[in-house]
Amino acid sequence: MTHSLTLRAALVSVSILVVFLLAWHLATRGTSAVQQMDPEYAKLMGLTATQGKSAMPGPLDVGAKLWEHLRRPFYDNGPNDKGVGIQLAYSIARVALGYLLAVAFALPIGFLIGMSPLMNRALDPFIQVLKPISPLAWMPLALYTIKDSGLSSIFVIFICSLWPMMINTAFGVASVRREWLNVAKTLEVGTFRRAFTIILPAAAPTILTGMRISIGIAWLVIVAAEMLVGGTGIGYFVWNEWNNLSITNVINAILLIGVVGMLLDLLLARATKLVTFPE
Amino acid sequence: MTQKFISIEGIAKRFPAASGGITTVFEDLWLSMQRGEFTCIIGHSGCGKTTVLNILAGLDETSSGAVIVDNQAIEGPSLDRAVIFQTHALLPWLTVMGNVSYAVSSKWRNWKTPRVRERAQKFIDLVGLNGAESKRPAELSGGMKQRVGIARALSIEPKIMLMDEPFSALDALTRGTLQDEVRRICQETDQTVFMITHDVDEAIYLADRIVLMTNGPGAVVAEIVENPLPKERKRHEVHKHPLFYPVRNHIIDFLVSRSKSFAQEMRGRHDPRHVPTVRPGTEPVVVTDSNVLRLGGHTAAH
């Protein structure tokens, strides 16, 4: 075997996918034997009983529907019938807004905590209490105070992205190597310049790791938040399609959520790579 | 008496011990250096050499006493005192040029980039690293990294260079080359240098004066060895000089036995303000030699 590891791994991946799709297809093929029944009675029965079809869509149905979605991702036929592209765009926009807002708060506060042992001690109890709260628990309070469902979901994203970033920033800043700080000291570098030219680059890999964890959590939470507040977004789409009993669309949405989540993670992984330095 | 450029006046370093008492690293330590002088400090680990260097650098504070440099008491770190760290302490996210430029632009804050780079380039060339400007520290060998550290320290035109075992992490060959370069550069620029080392040969080759410290805690400066070798010396010839071995033996004797038993040897006669200066091999040094002999017998009896 002279194939590279990547190639062999890809081969195994494809094999697993093929086996999975085949098993799925066979499992949802349905029974061919259909009982003869009274048409009135048949109306009350599901497709399994009347046409021998499985209630669970097979990979071919899902594939066909996915193709349909991907061909027209941005159509808009009113509030309950929008293309998945539009729904994903809503979700991504909310995540982006809440996340950037969190960055704007988490980085300075994290710096403060990391640089000042006093603030570290003083803020620690608040962080310890606030961190384990499920972001959705904030939703009623957000709806009550903000009085806007869209803004409330952005707030929920903000609050869930905040903690990993803040904690990682504080940790990264606090654990900058002493010798680098000593270099800054002997060169009489001021606090501000030291923060930007020594601490920031030194802590950047740790900070970016926190940001990567945060974007993952934000993308998990947005689906749940949109199921709650409704209106638009991929989370709302999933719940709407569940109400329509379109399992095909639910599966499609699950797939798309996974792909977008992966892309967001990939984006942050790239950014992390940019600021990582070899030692 | 010649004018003192650096004067360490009765400094002490104490810190609370884990057991609840107070650990004294050293107490009432006096030492002075002249401009353009190369001083090496030798002593066993834990005697507080690095603490003395850090205090000189302004990175550590004294528990009492003061350090005066160029007629001014030092308060914290300063661009006048450059430090060459044992572990290079290069900023790994910057290139060689970036690391040296960072120091240059810290000293001359209103300089424009081309001027900063020009000066940085001058010192990169001086340590023989031209061609490696755009490399990052991770791509350099240990010797090259330390060259960058030296270039960075020299580029800010310090009044004093403080070196904390700068060559200890290097292989013997690289160490030799770098010693030559440091010696050449320091002589050309008439630098005042304070250096910590564990290597007796290195101290004899580089230093004008070698400060011997006893073991800690409660370390004292036992004596100052004035290097009797001529100022013009070559690394490959230095060990052939008739005075080389007297100096070397004197220092090694100190490190092997006297550094431990110095307190007994002096029996309270040690005056930290007037530490004896010796020139082994050039004068009959009665006091020192008899001490060595007596103590040698004393230690052998154990």
CATH (domain of B175): 3.40.50.300
Domain assignment present for B89: no
Interface contact B61, partner A, CB < 8 A: no
The type of residue at B111 is W
The structure tokens listed for B193 are 């240098």
CB contact under 8 A, B85 and A185: no
Alpha-carbon distances of B150 from A106, B62, B87, B189, B201, rounded to whole Å:
38, 27, 12, 13, 21
pLDDT of residue A31: 65
Chain A contact set for B83 (CB, 8 A): 182, 186
Which residue out of A179, A182, A183 would a mutagenesis test of the B interface target, given it has the greatest number of B Cβ atoms within 10 Å? A183
Cα A139 → chain centroid: 18
pLDDT of residue A241: 92
pLDDT of residue A2: 61
Alpha-carbon distances of B299 from A147, B52, B215, B261, B291, rounded to whole Å:
87, 29, 16, 9, 12
Query: For the segment A52-70, what is each residue's pLDDT rounded down to a tens digit?
Result: 677 788 899 899 999 999 9
Q: C-alpha angle with apex A201: A200 to A204, nearest 5 degrees?
A: 80
Segment A220-236 shows an average pLDDT of: 92
Residues of chain B with pLDDT under 70: 1-3, 283-302
Q: Is residue A5 predicted with pLDDT exceeding 60?
A: yes
Alpha-carbon distances of B154 from A228, A279, B38, B157, rounded to whole Å:
64, 24, 15, 6
Find the residue in B nearest to A278 (Cα): B138
Q: How far apart are CA B129 and CA B154, in angstroms?
A: 14
Domain assignment present for B100: no
CB contact under 8 A, B93 and A202: yes
Interface contact B135, partner A, CB < 8 A: no
The structure tokens listed for A151 are 């803004």
Percent of chain B exceeding pLDDT 90 equals 37
pLDDT of residue A49: 67
Q: Which long-range contacts (CB under 8 A, 24 or more apart) does B102-109 make?
A: B102/A187, B102/A197, B102/B152, B103/A187, B103/B152, B103/B153, B103/B155, B103/B156, B104/B155, B104/B156, B106/A187, B106/A188, B106/A189, B106/B79, B106/B156, B107/A187, B107/B79, B107/B155, B107/B156, B107/B157
The type of residue at B2 is T
Cα B24 → chain centroid: 22
Contact A198, B92 (CB under 8 A): no
Q: How far apart are CA B146 and CA B138, in angstroms?
A: 12
CB contact under 8 A, B81 and A179: no
Q: If you average pLDDT over every residue of chain A, what do you get? A: 91
Q: Is residue A6 predicted with pLDDT exceeding 80?
A: yes
The structure tokens listed for B218 are 């409660």
The structure tokens listed for B111 are 């300089």
3 state SS of A229: helix
Instruction: Give every CB contact of residue B207 below 8 A, 6+ residues apart in sequence.
Output: B38, B39, B40, B195, B227
pLDDT of residue A109: 95
Query: For the segment B58-87, what is each residue's pLDDT rounded down to a tens digit?
Result: 999 888 899 999 888 988 899 999 999 888
CB contact under 8 A, A179 and B85: yes
Among B82, B93, B136, whose Cβ lies nearest the Cβ of A186? B82
Confidence of residue A9 (pLDDT cuts 50, 70, 90): very high
CATH superfamily, region A84-275: MetI-like (1.10.3720.10)
Confidence of residue A146 (pLDDT cuts 50, 70, 90): very high
Find the residue in B nearest to A199 (Cα): B91
Domain count, chain B: 1
pLDDT of residue A48: 65
CB contact under 8 A, A182 and B92: no
ipTM confidence: 0.83
> Chain A residues contacting B, CB < 8 Å?
179-180, 182-183, 185-189, 197-198, 201-202, 275, 277-279
pLDDT of residue B109: 93
Segment A88-114 shows an average pLDDT of: 96
pLDDT of residue B223: 87
pLDDT of residue B296: 35
| A34 compared with A255, residue with greater pLDDT | A255
Q: Which domain holds residue B29?
A: 6-80+158-301
Q: Is residue A116 predicted with pLDDT exceeding 50?
A: yes
Find the residue in A nearest to B85 (Cα): A179
Domain assignment present for B113: no
Domain assignment present for B140: no
CB contact under 8 A, B91 and A183: yes
Segment A109-131 shows an average pLDDT of: 94
pLDDT of residue B4: 82
Query: For the segment B275-290, what is each residue's pLDDT rounded down to a tens digit?
Result: 888 888 776 544 444 3
pLDDT of residue B155: 92
> What residue ranges do the domains of chain A occupy?
5-56, 84-275
| B190 compared with A208, residue with greater pLDDT | A208
